[in-house]
Amino acid sequence: MIDILIAEDNYEVRLSLANMLKNDSEFRVIGEADDGIKAVDMAKFLLPDLVLMDIKMPGLDGLRAAKRIKEFCSINGKNMKILILSTFYDDVYVLKSQACEVDGYLLKGLTFDKLASAIKNTSAGLVTLDQIIYKKHNMLNAGGAIGHDKVKLDTLTKPELYILELIVRGKTNAEIASELFFSEGTVRNYISSMLSKLGCKNSRELTVLGVKAGL
């Protein structure tokens, strides 16, 4: 039997998942969390075999929660699997999920049979990716999504590199300007320079590059 913790802030979605899983004798739902902080606390206390984790949650997003759980597992010799269940595909989220060492990434809306199979495969130690994500992820790793075979940030100045780190962390231009005591115009100039150096079209592509580089 696979013990499962569901982390999902939408009550109806969480209830639906719990009811589906409870109808399968191979699964046991041992806890439900409606935000990321509760998910981390409950995972540490309940020690489930697998956490079914939403990404966008209040308090702490699913990826940060996943990272904390994995760090706890590493320190304490535990082996909890984390399966992301997201509403939509996003290059940045997929790459960040890799950095957080999650064990799988699925899109919501899949059939119960596919979800059950994914949970079993993930619990068995396999990395589970939604078919759509698998195809796009291979393109991204091959450079097809942004036209880069290898991420190279050595052309960036120290201020540019730090700004890129802030962009990866989701900071807005205004927040970056405030943190660095720059004007927003100066931040935009730095970003424009980075776009030119790295061959990117926008801040989103900068974010993908930064995540691939491990920022």
pLDDT tens string 94-108? 777 777 788 888 888
Query: Cβ–Cβ contacts within 10 Å for residue 129, how many?
Result: 20
CATH code at 93?
Answer: 3.40.50.2300
Q: Is residue 147 part of a domain?
A: no
Q: Is residue 50 part of a domain?
A: yes
Domain that holds residue 125: 2-142
The residues near 43 (Cβ < 8 Å, ≥ 6 apart) are 5, 51, 69, 72, 80
CATH code at 198?
Answer: 1.10.10.10
**pLDDT of res. 132:** 57
Whether pLDDT at 146 is above 70? no
**Global confidence as pTM:** 0.67
Quick one: 199 and 127 in the same domain? no
Note the pLDDT tens digit of each residue in 51-65.
Answer: 999 999 999 999 999
d(CA 43, CA 211): 26
Report the range of poorest mean pLDDT among 35-49, 56-70, 119-133, 157-171: 119-133
**Which residue did the predictor score with more confidence, 35 or 209?**
35
Whether pLDDT at 6 is above 90? yes
**pLDDT of res. 39:** 97
Note the pLDDT tens digit of each residue in 154-203.
Answer: 888 888 888 888 888 788 888 888 888 888 899 999 999 999 998 888 88
Quick one: 52 and 123 in the same domain? yes
Whether pLDDT at 142 is above 80? no
Strand partners, 2: 27
Strand partners, 6: 32, 52
Q: Residue 15 phi/psi, 5° resolution?
A: -65, -40
Query: Cβ–Cβ contacts within 10 Å for residue 44, how many?
Result: 15
Quick one: 118 and 192 in the same domain? no
Q: In total, how many domains does the chain have?
A: 2
Query: Cβ–Cβ contacts within 10 Å for residue 12, how many?
Result: 8
Whether pLDDT at 120 is above 80? yes
